[in-house]
Structure 1
Amino acid sequence: MEIVRKMNVPASFLYKTIIDSVLSDIHTQTGKKISEKQLKGFKYVKTFSKNSKATIRIEDITNNQSYQYRTTSNKNDFMVAYEMRPLTEDSCELRYTEKMESFGYMDRLHLVGQIR
């Protein structure tokens, strides 16, 4: 899935908002305080519920331009990418992309049913 939207904020503001959220999530999940410079390649386990955990890996990060991460569990692999392109000083284009691969046979059947 891909969504492209014009945002009425500078690309730098949108990027900082996303990164601040990521750093907060890492701190909440791991207790570690890391910097933006340490994000690329960083992996941690996130607990979604009592019985649901996944490994999150920051795959790519480019200051004020892009952020990409992958969430992998025993059921699926989920990739999300944000790309920001300045349009004017006060606006940008956000391109949000997500891709999912399911590992279980029943999960794949369920996804096929959702697509149709």
Structure 2
Amino acid sequence: MKFKKTINAPQQYIFDKVIESVLFDIERSINRKLNAKVLQGFEYQKVISGRDASTIKIDEVTIPSVYAFSTETPTGYYTTRWEFKNVSEAQTEIFINESMKAKSLMQVTNNFIMRAFMQQAKKRSMQAMLDKMVESYKKGGA
């Protein structure tokens, strides 16, 4: 899935908000605080929706332009890459690319069907998340 959006907030601000969210997620998963400087290459376990544990690895952190991670679940491998492009002092173009590779033929079929039904919902969710970041910026960068 590919997603592209230009938003009215500075590149560094949006990048920082994404990394802040990542750090919060890691802290909840491992009960330990980290900082952005040690993220690249960091790997941790996370239980998603009360099911099996997934392994998440931070593949790339290039401040303030790239955040990429991969996730291995019992059923497949997923990669997500966020790119932040400075359009102007107050605008950022965001590219999000997600891909998946199933571990079994049955899962390939399941992923195809789920993608058909869930892709629009996933894009709406990403849009809502970005809208909240922009709103936060407009309210003074809280």
Equivalent residues in 2 for 1:27-46, closer than 5 Å:
27-46=27-46
Residue 58 of structure 2 is matched in structure 1 by 58
Question: Following the alignment from structure 1 to structure 2, what is the Cα–Cα distance between the partners of residues 76 and 44?
Answer: 17
Residue 49 of structure 1 is matched in structure 2 by 49
Given the two structures, how large is their TM-score scaled by the length of structure 2? 0.77
Residue 89 of structure 1 is matched in structure 2 by 89
Question: Following the alignment from structure 1 to structure 2, what is the Cα–Cα distance between the partners of residues 16 and 33?
Answer: 16
RMSD: 1.4
Structure with greater helix percent: 2
Structure with greater strand percent: 1
Does residue 3 (structure 1) correspond to residue 7 (structure 2)? The answer is no
Residue 18 of structure 1 is matched in structure 2 by 18
Given the two structures, how large is their TM-score scaled by the length of structure 1? 0.93
| Amino acid across the alignment from 2:63 | N
Equivalent residues in 2 for 1:67-86, closer than 5 Å:
67-86=67-86
Residue 132 of structure 2 is matched in structure 1 by none
The total of aligned residue pairs comes to: 116
Q: Unmatched 5+ residue regions in structure 1?
A: none
Q: Unmatched 5+ residue regions in structure 2?
A: 117-142
